[in-house]
């Protein structure tokens, strides 16, 4: 009972603390903007821990954060192996191939408005479909190892990336293109010096969407068959053995990997599109 009371009290206390900071004179500062969500996150973890202990929730339903942390530290080697298998081999290789292929396709069809008018609606349509359903087919074609995961990722990231790149390449004004024309720039020169740089914000938008899709694709594809390592494999087998602390540890790793991946792409974007209004503050 004490734990439950503590949880409620802690919740109320941090909530008032956050409300006080948010209403206070320093609400607009960077420190406050960082501190408030951190306090909220810590609150969630503390309340979780306290409620699990206070209400005697069995570990097979919801393990406390402390147990997850213990698992995270003690099973580092397994987690690392799974991370390499799923993220580095499966997701990353598929991400590079898929985004690269989409980019090349977009540049190739750029010269043909006819193909663009045809491919863009088809691409938009396909991007809204549950592409993850191709996973069983691709696993059947490419075998259980990372190649099939990589293939699923390629299929998943291709169309969002294609649509974004094509839209980005169209993102110049007539004035700018006319200027290139008066310089008597060739098609290639106009592409490299004007249209590709102008397309960068849209291209990075596609790249950022694709980071999450890549990780989801690699993990879910492992539910359809995989060698005895990988994050999706570990999640589905440990769930079956009710080893939920391991499952949560994998999810933590997946969350960290996903945010880090996104963060890195966003950082590259900041460097490449430093001129764009959304990056200047």
- 137 near other proteins (CB under 8 A): yes
d(CA 262, CA 167): 21
Q: Residue 106 or 119: which CB sits closer to other proteins?
A: 119
DSSP string, 116-162: HHHHHHHHHHHHTS-GGGGHHHHHHHH-SSHHHHHHHHHHHHHHHHH
Long-range contacts of 81-85 (CB under 8 A, 24+ apart): 81/229, 82/229, 82/230, 82/231, 82/233, 82/234, 82/250, 82/253, 83/231, 83/253, 83/257, 85/146, 85/227, 85/229, 85/230, 85/231
Of the candidate spans 96-104, 129-137, 144-152, 170-178, the one that interacts with other proteins by CB under 8 A turns out to be 129-137
Candidate list 6, 11, 142, 223; residue touching other proteins; CB under 8 A: 223
- 41 near other proteins (CB under 8 A): yes
Tell me which H or E stretch contains 17: helix 2-23
Helices and strands in the chain: count of H runs, count of E runs: 13, 0
Q: Residue 10 or 179: which CB sits closer to other proteins?
A: 10
Q: List the interface residues with other proteins, window 198-217 (CB under 8 A).
A: 211-212, 215-216
- 3 near other proteins (CB under 8 A): no
Candidate list 83, 95, 158, 261; residue touching other proteins; CB under 8 A: 261
Of the candidate spans 33-41, 45-53, 175-183, 196-204, the one that interacts with other proteins by CB under 8 A turns out to be 33-41
Q: Residue 50 or 214: which CB sits closer to other proteins?
A: 214
Q: Residue 62 or 107: which CB sits closer to other proteins?
A: 62
Burial of 108 (0-12, 13-18, 19+ CB in 10 A): exposed
Of the candidate spans 34-42, 66-74, 92-100, 187-195, the one that interacts with other proteins by CB under 8 A turns out to be 34-42
Q: List the interface residues with other proteins, window 98-117 (CB under 8 A).
A: 114-117
| Total of chain residues touching other proteins, rule CB under 8 A | 65
66: its two tokens:
């402390």
- Would you say 61 and 18 are in contact if contact means Cβ atoms under 8 Å apart? no
C-alpha to C-alpha distances, 171 to 23, 115, 140, 166, 192, nearest whole angstrom: 41, 17, 40, 9, 14
What is the smallest separation between the CB atom of 244 and other proteins, expressed in angstroms?
A: 7
Q: Which residues of this protein are in contact with other proteins, per CB under 8 A?
A: 15, 18-19, 21-23, 27, 32-33, 36-37, 39-41, 60-62, 114-119, 121-122, 125, 128-130, 132-134, 136-137, 139-141, 211-212, 215-216, 219-220, 223-225, 231-232, 235-236, 239-240, 242, 244, 247-248, 250-251, 254-255, 258-259, 261-263
């Amino acid at each position: 009972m004490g734990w439950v009371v503590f949880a409620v009290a802690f919740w109320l206390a941090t909530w008032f603390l956050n409300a006080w900071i948010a209403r206070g004179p320093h609400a607009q500062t960077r420190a406050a903007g960082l501190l408030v969500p951190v306090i909220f996150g810590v609150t969630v973890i503390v309340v979780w821990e306290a409620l699990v202990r206070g209400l005697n929730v069995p570990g097979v339903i919801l393990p406390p954060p402390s147990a997850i942390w213990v698992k995270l530290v003690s099973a580092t080697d397994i987690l690392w192996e799974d991370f390499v298998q799923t993220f580095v081999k499966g997701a990353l290789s598929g991400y590079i191939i898929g985004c690269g292929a989409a980019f090349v396709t977009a540049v190739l069809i750029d010269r043909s408005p006819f193909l663009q008018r045809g491919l863009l609606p088809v691409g938009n349509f396909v991007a809204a479909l549950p592409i993850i359903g191709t996973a069983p087919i691709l696993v059947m074609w490419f075998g259980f190892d990372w190649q099939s995961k990589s293939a699923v990722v390629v299929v998943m990231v291709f169309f969002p990336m294609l649509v974004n790149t094509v839209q980005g390449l169209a993102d110049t004004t007539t004035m700018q293109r006319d200027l290139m024309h008066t310089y008597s720039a060739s098609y290639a020169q106009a592409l490299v010096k004007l249209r590709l740089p102008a397309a960068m914000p849209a291209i990075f938008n596609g790249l950022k969407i694709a980071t999450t899709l890549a990780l989801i694709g690699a993990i879910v594809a492992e539910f359809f068959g995989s060698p005895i390592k990988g994050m999706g494999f570990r999640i589905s087998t440990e769930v079956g053995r009710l080893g939920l602390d391991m499952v949560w540890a994998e999810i933590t790793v997946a969350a960290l990997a996903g945010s880090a991946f996104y963060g890195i792409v966003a950082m590259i974007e900041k460097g490449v599109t430093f001129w764009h209004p959304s990056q200047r503050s």
